A and B are shown apart, each in its own frame.
Chain A
């Protein structure tokens, strides 16, 4: 299912945390920064495209208030000349992944998935009786999904964690992706609920949610064709970058999210923002697919380890 569409990002953190000022314009911040801004503007005027120092990484320190504007950035450099990104990674390097199965005891299956600073909990309830009789399907299971972000997940506190357009869209995307891989015909007239809760958002929440949902479904023992893994990639400063974090994502460059079934080698999710020439797009999509395969290897390891633990506990 291929969807190439314009940026559907939420209003909120992006607008005032990362102002991008072009060379001849800048916003004034605190009294102290006014002097620094003038200096920087002078320098920038002398050399067009001068690389400006970015502010502290919003996720490494507590969020400061948005009482005044943040110091604005003049033409950001996302990949340094030595080939290092803002957080010190190489362009083809993913963030650190960590997964844990079985965190929510009451759910039929649950998992926590972390990609760098993005942390997501998924819980699966099902297969169970359909709650709303009118939605019952006589030959298949009904798959439902809800995506919600915690109030504290983004740098600026979100007022409305559910029901906004972006959450609805992501819920739909996750549902369609997982529905493609669950063997729904084995469980007619039943319902499978996938609930995903974002605890920390630092870019790539969509991918982390799909990976977490896969683990949770496996933990619930729901039959699937294959695991679904997902990863995102982008293209900034003429370099394809794997696994974008929040800063790179809000840079306005293209963001390609890919979801694949690794064993069957099929693509189930493909979304892109902004625009890319076709040959570069193939590169970036290939990179994202490689990322997905790396995630798939990790997920398989985690599932194997989990099964060994279960065997051990049963005394086998």
Chain B
């Protein structure tokens, strides 16, 4: 990323203070979102989201596995994000690992709930086939192709779109087995179960620049942040996860204010995203 001069920094901060950002947006406006589903045919579900110049792909793969002994009635979900070096030269080799880990953990916190699987946006008990023996392991992979700020929001939206595009094959358990035997399962190639994605939250990142907060920062604006909060909110307006980044301290009242602003913004975002996803799926079916 090219460094910013002092004049440019003032320009960005001044613009935000006057509710007019460098690309003409208001503080709480998102860039246009383009959704494409089914981009990876060999995955069970996939989506590609473009948020301005930020480009991310999410893919969902389901493999059969054994549920953990502590939670025999729940499937397993893993989220893993990789930053491709095409996004920035510094992601070459192991350079992107730090950011990848940060994004993966933030997404897990926002979408998957606590360690015991409670409060998850995706219901893991819908993934179990035979309790205690066979379940679906869901692997959600995100790939950042091009980065222009606001990666977390884009990845959250991509995962939501990919999950709504996911078809888990129907499974027939072949025979009754007792004890420790693994039951034989027959995976049908034809029928698929669609995932219920109405409960999946979206992530809204509010970045505080100076005394105001903006939504959907570009990478230039992100270089000026004092602190940022990423909140995942679902359709009902419930908060599913919260992450604060940045070194500056925040007054608690400001945090509560940011949360209410995020809730307000998330309603529009969820509606916009749902309509874009529906349009993308309709497009995919036609082609």
Contact = CB atoms under 8 A, between A and B. Distances in A.
Interface string B78-117: 0010101111110011100000000000000000000000
A285 B61 CA distance: 38
A125 B89 contact: yes
Q: How large is the interface on B (under 10, 10 to 19, 20 to 34, 35 or more residues)?
A: 35 or more
A157 B55 contact: no
B164 to A, nearest CB: 15
B57 A199 contact: yes
A155 B46 CA distance: 14
A136 interface: no
Interface of chain A, main secondary structure:
loop
Interface stretch (B67-75, B185-193, B199-207, B258-266): B185-193
Interface stretch (A58-66, A222-230, A254-262, A303-311): A58-66
B184 A195 contact: no
Given A56-B189, A67-B64, A146 B184 contact: no
B61 A152 contact: yes
A148 B93 CA distance: 9
B206 to A, nearest CB: 24
A195 B89 contact: yes
Contacts of A58: 42
Nearest to A121: B86
Nearest to B90: A131
Contact of B186 (A31, A59, A123, A196): A31
A30 interface: yes
A107 B86 contact: yes
Nearest to B63: A65
Given A67-B64, A197-B145, 12 more contacts: A61-B42, A104-B55, A106-B146, A106-B147, A117-B41, A125-B89, A150-B143, A151-B80, A152-B61, A157-B63, A195-B86, A200-B42
CB-CB nearest 5 A-B residue pairs: A123-B86, A152-B59, A105-B53, A195-B85, A151-B141
Interface of B: 39-44, 46, 53, 55, 57, 59, 61-64, 80, 82, 84-89, 92-94, 139, 141, 143, 145-148, 167, 169, 174-175, 184-187, 189
